[in-house]
């Protein structure tokens, strides 16, 4: 076969492909060759092996609100209240950024502002988990013995004329009350980790994340993880149900 014959054959194939009708798809409203598959409550359209995911979760706003309230109660039982202003500050900034970028949907009234406030409280507890180390007193065990005179217990002559002393262990001023603000260290490491991930400097981000985990480990032991795990699962579900997944 010569080159001219090959060229003519290729042109004929291209012309046949251009003349062939375009198969309908699930995105343009076509119905031929489509099959609706229901999986875990979500509707997926399949066409020639391709799966088209739904544009949004069509659930009533009461579902994420109810799950979020339960998660909020569990988070309070497992984590307690935020003890530093960094936690509501970071939660507010993160929530504003998420709504500005369209990550969460704005529901119509009267569900809009209750869900916004609920999300803010959930993120406050989440940042309490991440940067809620508080103050640590590493030298509070350092104490020195001192003798203190005990006042007389009655009017007997032994109590009046014989002094009574008591040995008391007291903290050393300026040393035993020295503390480390773990929350500030956690905040600096968290910001460094976020910047490392933003600029795709993975080794730096990995090291700072590891340092954040190590320094936060003692504070993690103080939480009630039976409630914290349930808070993370239900809170994450409530946040996901509000996500705008049309992107």
* Domain-located, residue 247: no
- Nearest-angstrom CA–CA distance, 238 and 123: 12
For 212, residues 6+ apart whose C-beta sits below 8 A from its C-beta are 130, 186, 189, 190, 193
What is the C-alpha to C-alpha distance for residues 78 and 225, in angstroms, rounded to an integer?
A: 6
DSSP 96: H
CA distance 184 to 191: 11
Most confident of 31-45, 60-74, 152-166: 60-74
- 78 and 161 inside one domain: no
In this structure, the answer to whether residues 101 and 152 fall within a common structural domain is no
Question: Is 243 within 8 Å of 104 (Cβ atoms)?
Answer: yes
Asked which of 128-132, 143-147, 239-243 is least confident by mean pLDDT, the reply is: 143-147
- Asked whether residue 164 is domain-assigned, the answer is yes
Together in a domain, 127 and 99: yes
**pLDDT tens by residue, 138-162:** 777 778 778 777 776 666 666 666 7
pLDDT at 7 over 60: yes
Q: How many domains does the chain have?
A: 3
- Tell me: do 151 and 46 sit in the same domain: no
Q: What's the pLDDT at 237?
A: 93
* 103 and 207 co-located in one domain: yes
192 and 113 belong to one structural domain: yes
Among candidate residues 118, 138, 99, 128, the one with its CA nearest the CA of residue 190: 128
**What span, in angstroms and rounded, lies between the C-alpha atoms of 193 and 209?**
6
End-to-end CA distance of the chain, in Å? 50
Do 16 and 123 lie in a common domain?
A: no
pLDDT band, very low/low/confident/very high, at 48 (cuts 50, 70, 90): very low
Q: What is the average pLDDT value for the chain, to the nearest integer?
A: 78
Tell whether 169 and 194 lie within a shared domain. Answer: no
Confidence tier at 175 by pLDDT (50, 70, 90) = confident
Quick check: is 246 in a domain? no
Nearest Cα neighbor of 137 from 175, 104, 166, 183 is: 175
Q: Domain for residue 8, yes or no?
A: yes
How distant is the alpha carbon of residue 43 from its chain centre? 28
Are residue 153 and residue 46 in the same domain, yes or no?
no
CA pair distance 208, 191, nearest whole angstrom: 9
Asked whether residue 161 is domain-assigned, the answer is yes
Q: Is residue 57 part of a domain?
A: no
- Within-domain flag for 69: yes
Tokens of 242: 């509000």
Q: pLDDT value at position 49? A: 45
Expressed as residue numbers, the domain containing 169 is 142-177
- Integer-rounded Cα Rg, in Å, for the chain is 32
175-200: b (≥16 Cβ within 10 Å) or e: ebeeeeebbebbbebbebbeebeeee
Rounded to 10°, the helix 225-241/112-131 angle is 140
Kindly state whether residues 185 and 237 are assigned to the same domain: yes
18, two tokens: 């251009």
Residues 89 and 123 in one domain: yes
DSSP-derived secondary structure for 22-86: PPP-TTTT--TTEEEEEETTEEEEEETTEEE--SS----THHHHHHHHHHHHHHHHHH-S--STH
CB 102 within 8 A of CB 247: yes
| Per-residue pLDDT, 227 | 94
Pair 104, 202 in one domain: yes
């Amino acid at each position: 076969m010569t080159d001219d014959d090959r060229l003519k054959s290729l042109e004929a194939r291209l012309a046949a492909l251009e003349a062939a009708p375009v198969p309908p798809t699930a995105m343009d409203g076509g119905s031929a060759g489509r099959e609706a598959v229901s999986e875990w409550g979500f509707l997926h359209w399949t066409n020639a092996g391709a799966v088209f995911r739904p544009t949004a979760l069509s659930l009533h706003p009461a579902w994420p609100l109810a799950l979020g309230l339960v998660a909020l109660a569990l988070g309070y039982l497992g984590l307690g209240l935020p003890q530093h202003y960094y936690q509501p500050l970071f939660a507010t900034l993160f929530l504003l950024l998420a709504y500005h970028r369209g990550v969460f949907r704005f529901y119509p009234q009267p569900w809009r502002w209750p869900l916004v406030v609920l999300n803010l409280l959930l993120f406050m507890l989440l940042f309490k988990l991440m940067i809620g180390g508080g103050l640590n007193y590493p030298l509070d065990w350092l104490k020195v013995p001192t003798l203190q005179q005990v006042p007389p217990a009655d009017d007997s002559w032994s109590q009046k004329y014989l002094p009574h002393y008591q040995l008391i262990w007291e903290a050393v001023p300026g040393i035993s009350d020295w503390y480390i603000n773990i929350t500030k260290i956690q905040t600096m490491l968290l910001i460094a980790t976020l910047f490392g991930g933003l600029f795709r400097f993975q080794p730096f981000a990995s090291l700072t994340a590891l340092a954040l985990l190590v320094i936060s480990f003692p504070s993690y032991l103080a939480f009630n993880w039976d409630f914290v795990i349930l808070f993370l699962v239900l809170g994450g579900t409530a946040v996901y149900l509000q996500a705008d997944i049309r992107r």
